[in-house]
């Protein structure tokens, strides 16, 4: 048996989501630091050791490139790795601030960005460690401020740095605040998206479990009831032969009819619940799929078949199961429509996917009914006309194939049920 398509790639872990946004913010921080040096030197006329600053920024740029290449490739990314990168960034920022005025530089508020990143990305112990290291780095600026600059560097004087501090406090606060808000919001949004994907995966797994349970139940019921139903059928047939006429004979005939109906129901349950397994996956043209679905439909003459280039596309999946779900939607549409009304089947491409829709001319569904459509054993049909499993099993099959079931309806305007599946231009394979 050919296995189903491989499942989607595993969801990114929390650490890798954090890493992605951390590296982006780190790149923006490098750009901001370069602009700060340029603004202080060219805009404010502050004398700065440009050679040392450019060398430090180049070293930080090289480390950023290295981290972008190396870190994402690590399968088991640990918080300690990120903590080490943050400590490196803290050291670089401390050197930059030292070369641009030390503790007088108003952009010491950028230390808060490092602390905020640690609080969001790291466990408590490592976050407190980064905070302690940041406080020590900040304190070192006050100590280094009183010492001569190394390597003969000429640093700005106290008066000049105090003037810069007073003029730059608001700008520095605004930059730090913007970095913090942007990063926290983006990381929160990314994590919320991951949680939504995880919830969908859990829902899909639960639906698969229900299908498996239903298949087991249907197979067990069919096996256990086959013998007593067979006995009833044989006994009723013999009794019918023994009775020459009268109302009792009609009652016996009714018993035989109901036994046959019970057998049909059990067979349909077993077939529907088992439609997701045991069948090879092949490529087939949309036109062949539609024709296979309508071939066994008694009222196929009332169905308007799709036309257009979408019929040349191919879909991959179990052909009999796909034909069964499409046939079920068409059958539902025929039952919902007036006796002489036609049902329209259409096919089109939508954003790289194939959408095959079945539109009826019935009374439509209320919002409450539409919201419950697809729940197992929920049906609006008369007793004996349906078990409420068709849409549930159809959605389960489509989700296994990477697609979805779309339902839209308005009271008095009919209902449209659409099968959405990944499409491909590959040549159809001939199923044996």
Q: How far apart are CA 274 and CA 83, in angstroms?
A: 51
Beta-carbon-side half-sphere exposure of residue 369 (alpha carbons within 13 Å): 13
Cβ atoms < 10 Å from Cβ of 390? 23
Of residues 102 and 231, more confidently modeled:
231
Identify which has the larger pLDDT, 359 or 27.
359
Task: Give the model's pLDDT for residue 128.
Answer: 94
Average pLDDT, the chain: 77
Q: Does the pLDDT at position 275 exceed 70?
A: no
pLDDT in tens, 168-178: 677 777 777 77
For residue 47, what pLDDT band results from cuts at 50, 70 and 90?
low
- Is residue 429 over pLDDT 80? no
d(CA 334, CA 358): 10
CA distance 54 to 60: 10
Q: Average of pLDDT values for 144-170?
A: 63
Average pLDDT over residues 408-429: 76
Total Cβ atoms within 10 A of residue 303: 19
Q: For residue 51, what pLDDT is reported?
A: 81
User: How are beta strands 343-350 and 303-304 bridged, if at all?
Assistant: parallel
**Is residue 427 within 8 Å of 364, Cβ to Cβ?**
no
pLDDT at 121 over 50: yes
Q: Cβ(163)–Cβ(40) under 8 Å?
A: no
Decide if pLDDT at 291 tops 70. yes
Percent of the chain with pLDDT over 90: 4
What pLDDT sits at residue 234? 86
Burial classification of residue 394, based on how many CB atoms lie within 10 Å of its CB (0-12 exposed, 13-18 middle, 19 or more buried): buried
d(CA 316, CA 281): 6
The reported pLDDT for the residue numbered 299 is 83
Is the full-model pTM beyond 0.85?
A: no
Q: Is residue 390's pLDDT more than 50?
A: yes
State mean pLDDT over 250-268.
Answer: 80
At residue 11, the pLDDT reads 37
**pLDDT score, position 66:** 82
On the question of pLDDT at 201 being above 70, the answer is yes
pLDDT at 5: 41
Residue 428: per-residue pLDDT? 37
Least confident of 26-35, 266-275, 422-431: 422-431
pLDDT at 332 exceeding the cut of 90 = no
* Apex 255 CA angle, 252 and 256, nearest 5: 90
Q: What is the pLDDT of residue 1?
A: 37
What mean pLDDT do residues 160-182 have? Answer: 71
Question: Any idea what the Cα angle at residue 291 is, between residues 287 and 292, rounded to 5°?
Answer: 115
pLDDT at 31: 81
Tell me what pLDDT residue 134 has. Answer: 92
pLDDT at position 263 over 70? yes
């Amino acid at each position: 048996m050919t296995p189903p398509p491989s499942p989607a790639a595993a969801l990114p872990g929390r650490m890798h989501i954090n890493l992605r946004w951390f590296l982006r913010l780190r790149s923006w921080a490098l750009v901001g630091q370069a602009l700060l040096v340029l603004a202080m030197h060219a805009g404010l006329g502050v004398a700065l050791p440009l050679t040392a600053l450019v060398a430090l920024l180049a070293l930080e740029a090289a480390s950023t490139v290295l981290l972008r290449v190396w870190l994402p490739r690590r399968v088991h990314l640990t918080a300690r790795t990120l903590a080490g990168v943050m400590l490196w960034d803290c050291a670089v920022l401390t050197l930059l601030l030292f070369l641009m005025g030390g503790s007088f530089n108003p952009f010491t508020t950028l230390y808060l960005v490092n602390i905020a990143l640690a609080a969001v990305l790291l466990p408590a112990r490592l976050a407190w460690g980064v905070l302690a290291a940041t406080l020590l780095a900040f304190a070192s600026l006050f100590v280094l401020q009183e010492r001569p600059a190394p390597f003969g560097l000429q640093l700005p004087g106290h008066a000049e740095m105090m003037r810069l501090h007073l003029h730059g406090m608001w700008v520095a606060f605004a930059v730090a605040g913007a970095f913090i808000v942007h990063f926290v919001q983006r990381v929160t949004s990314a994590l919320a998206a991951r949680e939504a994907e995880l919830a969908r995966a859990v829902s899909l797994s639960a639906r698969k479990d229900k299908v498996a349970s239903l298949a087991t139940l249907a197979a067990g019921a069919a096996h256990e009831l086959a013998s007593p139903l067979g006995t009833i059928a044989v006994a009723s047939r013999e009794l019918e032969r023994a009775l020459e006429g009268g109302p009792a004979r009609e009652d016996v005939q009714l018993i035989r009819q109901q036994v046959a109906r019970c057998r049909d129901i059990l067979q349909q349950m077993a077939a529907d619940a088992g439609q997701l397994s045991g069948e090879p996956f092949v490529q087939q043209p949309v036109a062949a799929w539609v024709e296979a679905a309508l071939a066994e439909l008694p009222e196929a003459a009332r169905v308007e078949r799709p036309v257009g280039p979408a019929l040349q596309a191919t879909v991959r999946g179990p052909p009999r199961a796909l034909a069964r779900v499409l046939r079920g939607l068409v059958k539902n549409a025929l039952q919902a429509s007036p006796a002489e009304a036609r049902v329209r089947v259409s096919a089109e491409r939508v954003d790289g996917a194939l959408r095959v829709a079945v539109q009826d001319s019935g009374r439509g569904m209320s919002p409450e009914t539409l919201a419950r459509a697809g729940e197992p054993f929920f049906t609006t049909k008369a007793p004996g006309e349906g078990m409420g499993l068709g849409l549930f099993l159809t959605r389960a099959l489509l989700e296994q194939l990477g697609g979805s079931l779309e339902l839209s309806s308005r009271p008095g305007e009919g209902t449209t049920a659409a099968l959405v599946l990944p499409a491909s231009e590959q040549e159809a394979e001939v199923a044996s």
